[in-house]
Structure 1
Amino acid sequence: MTTAWLDTDLARWVETCRDDRELSGLAAAATVTFGIRADDRTALFGFHGGELAEPADDPDFVLVAADADWSEFFQPVPPPAHQNFFGMLMRVPGARVEGSELAMAQHAHIVRRVLELGREAISGPLTAPAAHPARGKAHLRPGYVRISVRGEPVEIFYEEAGAGPDVLLLHTAGADARQYHELMADPALASRCRLVAFDLPGHGRSGLLPGVVPGGYSLTTDQYATAVLAVIDALGLVSPVVSGSSMGGEICLELAHRAPHALGGVIACEASDRVPGRKVPWAKHPAVNESTFVPEWVYGLMAPQSPERCRREVWWGYSQGGFGTFAGDIDFYSGDWDGRERVGEIDTSRCPVIMMTGEYDYSCTPAMSAATARKIPGAVFWPMPDLGHFPMAENPPLFAEHFAAALDRLGIP
């Protein structure tokens, strides 16, 4: 593909945008012009009062990449890091935003949808396997348990399903335990273990952190590890296997180092000993709508093959987070957490370590996870094809296969 697509496909692309109900809803009240530049050619898209309009001559910002990289992006199934422009910005040399980065952050949801429609106009709709039907939630057993945080009581919401050895599931930054609802409904998993998921303090349905003023939350490694261990104790979990993705995967590694006596092993997904580059000022910026930017910042981390219904639910869940919750968690995920000097000390004879990372995760790539696993004597790592950063939520049936294999490795019958 060359920049000829700007001539042959641009008109169809614009009409696809004009007819799209989702774009119409996302663009409500927006007035902006942005460009998409491939080498020396630029396509402009304009919106006025939420309606697709004649673009202004001077765009607010331009997304720039080499034509070869845009060609990868517009493939029906793009390669990892090319599925979303935020991924290209992070991992593709030369990809950049020219002009107002603030305007880009303010309109990231519109940009993403326009680019998705461009892929459809140029390459046709993605032919994906039929999505699995959503499983019900009647199997979940909810409850509250009280833990102490800095000497103050906090009510922690949890849910459980199944029976057998204890498995504790940790949600991702700015999210809550709803991410695990469908995995916990998997009959094969529920028949072999007791699956327990909880909302961290100040997340989802758990109580607010004591003494933290609005906007003042910032998670540290010690706070996180202490909270998880307190929940294990309060729920009476016996040598649980602890599993989490993203920041939940990172804390799994910390717990394996800090408290191997309390665990039956860890399954650390989308984790490495250090993940730089994910702190961004727009996640808590007064001129940026947090409920649209934060879900867009994470949406592209999922695999394009994952069912659309599941990807939309991840987006929607991230649109519901409390003010500054995501940014405060990222203070840990891409800031305070640094296991480079500690992961090599993990004793896998006391606490086995399984690591798995989705191939479409451009935040913590499979190569980063593999490098960390090599530092941990006895750790086991494998990549997960066709999955991204939220495997348990974006494609639960596919992730369940990997999760079952990890339980096998840990000797969970």
Structure 2
Amino acid sequence: MELPDLDVERGMARRRAILGDAWVDRSMAQATNFNAEFQDFITRHAWHGIWDRPGLDDRTRRIIVLSITCAMGRWEEFELHVRAAIQPGSPGQLSPDDLKEVLMQSAVYAGVPAANSGFAHAAKVMREAGIDLAAVDVQAVVHPADGRQARTATSPSIAYSVRERRGGAHPSHTVVLSHALGCDRSMWDGLAGRLSDTCRVVSHDHRGHGLSDVPEGPWTVEGLADDAAALIRELACGPVVFVGLSMGGMVAQALALRHPELVKALVIANSTSGYDEAGRAAWGARIGLVRSGGMAAVADMAMPRWFSETFRDANAAVVERWRRRVAACHPEGYIASCEALQRLDTSPYLGNIRVPVLVLASELDPGTPPAMSEVLARGIPDADLVVLPGASHLSVIERPTAFADHVVRFLDRLSA
């Protein structure tokens, strides 16, 4: 009894799964005594020998094939794999945005002419498949990792960016990200990139930070919340999920208390509802340090409070980036912000926050230790507390994956 050739059977099954029955049937129908052995070779060594290997998933292998065939100008094979990749339900199916990213990266590593031809061939195949490629204004295109950059028409004018969900699908939420004292909206780049897959993401520079205005003081946390409210109203994007860390978490509380109609839910990370006498004295000392030693002195002091020793030892370049960011902060804007935080006291009003709240704390945070987050979680009626082990104050930088995972799960619960 003749045994079946399992390599051929397995290779043919994989070939049909990836390219579709119609294409494979045409190839087999065109086999002759001249090319049949080549077809056998492809089935054994490409489709079983390579595509059946467990090391990479089908999506990754598709991307590799598209990259190589684009780089080498093998346009017949490139179109074949584009056509197969966009078929609904195909293993490792790719979207038009996925194809775009393959070709954008090919432009850097294989050259602009190759990518230019790749875009033309891919567009032809997608149009043949009935995929609508709508015309757009090239001058309106923005880098998807940065979003659209703008400033509010209000005074003070607040600089912000908007990352839209790709592909034009309706976002599940609009999320506003509010940064820590001495930082800017780039603090949120990692989280914003992850959330923008499903959400509209707005991040802004507080007054006195980044590219926003630096109005004369005195300032209050309530005024910072009013800045955020003006931004939300100008974008007509409320109610929003407002995510704030440290100073941003204090702004989140004030926003929910002063403008509840604009808030759907809050994430309050590494923050507090107020300070005791010792805490207010520490803010006074920091203000004095800025006035006597400038922002560089404060920047040096902040790094051991922001990042754990383990993180600082392993990520010196990251720590130095944020030290420079603090050192470049506008001194008067920093002082006015410190004075606003020094006067913060939302503790008596936490029970008036009537939206779901996720409170994130860090085990090693010396500035806003977990006990401060426990006060928030106890005082807000619908609040859950999560403590990130081994993290310090700037938890979204030190534990980006864990931070994002908790935020995504919170957003998923809101959508349920």
Task: Normalising by structure 2, report the TM-score.
Answer: 0.58
Pick the structure with more strand per residue.
1
Q: Structure 1 residues 309, 184: closer, same or farther in 2, change over 3 A?
A: farther
Q: Are 2:269 and 1:269 aligned?
A: yes
2:260 counterpart residue number = 260
User: 1:208: how far off?
Assistant: 3.1
Match of 1:325 among 333, 346, 349: 333
Residue 242 of structure 1: CA displacement? 0.4
Give the C-alpha shift of residue 231 in structure 1.
Answer: 0.7
- How do residues 7-406 of structure 1 correspond to structure 2 at under 5 angstroms? 139-149=145-155, 154-163=156-165, 164=171, 165-186=173-194, 189-209=195-215, 212=216, 217-276=217-276, 277=279, 278-285=282-289, 288-301=292-305, 302-306=307-311, 307-333=315-341, 335-347=342-354, 351-406=355-410
> Residue 264 of structure 1 aligns to a residue in which SS?
strand
Q: Structure 1's 138 and 294: CA in aligned 2 closer, same or farther, altered over 3 A?
A: farther
Tell me, yes or no, if the aligned pair for 2:246 and 2:269 is still in contact at 8 Å. yes
List alignment gaps of at least 5 residues for structure 2.
1-142, 166-170
Q: How many residues align?
A: 260
Give the Cα–Cα distance (whole angstroms) in 2 for the partners of residues 375 and 207 of structure 1: 34
Residue 238 of structure 1 and its aligned partner are, at CA, apart by 2.8
Structure 1 residue 286, shift from structure 2 partner = 7.3
CA contact (8 A) 1:356 1:384 kept: yes
Deviation of the 1:170 alpha carbon = 0.5
Question: Which protein has the bigger helix share?
Answer: 2
Q: Does the CA contact (< 8 Å) of 2:289 and 2:297 recur in 1?
A: no
* Alpha-carbon distance in structure 1 between the residues aligned to 2:218 and 2:186: 22
Kept in 2, the 8 Å contact 1:282–1:288? The answer is: no
User: Which amino acid counterpart does residue 263 of structure 2 have in structure 1?
Assistant: L
Aligned-partner SS, 1:192: coil
Aligned-pair CA distance for 1:298:
1.9
Q: Report the alpha carbon displacement of residue 313 of structure 1 after superposing the two structures with TM.
A: 2.1
| Structure 2 CA distance for aligned equivalents of residues 190 and 273 of structure 1 | 29
Q: For residue 360 of structure 1, report the CA deviation from its aligned partner.
A: 1.6
CA contact (8 A) 2:246 2:271 kept: yes
List alignment gaps of at least 5 residues for structure 1: 1-136
Secondary structure in 1 matching 2:364: coil
Structure 2 distance, partners of 1:177, 1:320, is: 14
Work out the CA distance in 1 between the residues paired with 2:291 and 2:381.
Answer: 47
* Residue aligned with 2:158, SS: strand
3-state SS of 2:157 partner:
strand
Which residue of 1 is the match for residue 128 of structure 2? none
Letter in 2 for 1:242: F
Q: 1:407 aligns with which of 397, 400, 411?
A: 411
Partner SS for 1:360: coil
In structure 2, the CA distance between the partners of 1:376 and 1:140, relative to structure 1 (3 Å rule), is same
SS in 2 for 1:363: coil
8 Å Cα contact 1:314/1:393 also seen in 2: no
Which structure is larger by alpha-carbon Rg, 1 or 2?
2
